[in-house]
Amino acid sequence: MNTDIEILENTIIAQNWAVLRKITYRILKANGSRDTQTREAYDRGNGAAILLYNKQKRSVILTRQFRLPTFINGNPEGLLIEACAGILDEADPVACIKRETEEETGYQISEVEKVFEAYMSPGSVTELLYFFVAAYTEDMKLHEGGGLDEEEEDIEVLEYAFDEAYRMLENGQIRDGKTIMLLQYLKIHHFQ
């Protein structure tokens, strides 16, 4: 497929937590014709997500926090159970996820395993998410976690038996895409 694209107009609609742009472009379609289209793209930067696991205990560390978009789209409490994640402040996803892990969960990890990267909502969001897993032990716990006040975070740290967390995925209690992907990865590669 030919991806001959010409940006005709790029307008910032909003620039608060992230940048929302209205982009008009001309694209060469597969049939050889050219089409002019307009779309909006939300640019909040790239991110990283991690799922901590303990093979001996057969457990995982997850978080729970309020997510406004889920609340306005039918999640009655707005609370979502998720894998630890954050936006890359610098270019290095490994440094980002280590920092986020300590801030959100209280665990200080040294070794991470990158498992894949994915665009999570490519129809409207520019974010590329880097996915990691890492083993944890109790002696890695430095503090209670919970996030940073200056980032308005109020994060509850949860430890679940892996089988329980996987059942929560199956019965709809875990509905976050990145968390579902990481739990499935662990099931295939670490908890068969």
Question: Is 85 labelled as part of a ligand binding site?
Answer: yes
Q: Is 6 annotated as a binding residue?
A: no
Binding site annotation covers 100? yes
User: 111 a known binding residue?
Assistant: no
Give the DSSP letter string of the chain.
----EEEEEEEEEEESSSEEEEEEEEEE-TTS-EEEEEEEEEE---EEEEEEEETTTTEEEEEEEE-HHHHTTT-SS-EEEE-EEEE-SSS-HHHHHHHHHHHHH-B--S--EEEEEEESSTTTB--EEEEEEEE--GGGB-S-----GGGT---EEEEEEHHHHHHHHHTTS---HHHHHHHHHHHHHT--
Point out the annotated binding site for Mg(2+): 85, 100, 104, 153
Point out the annotated binding site: 85, 100, 104, 153
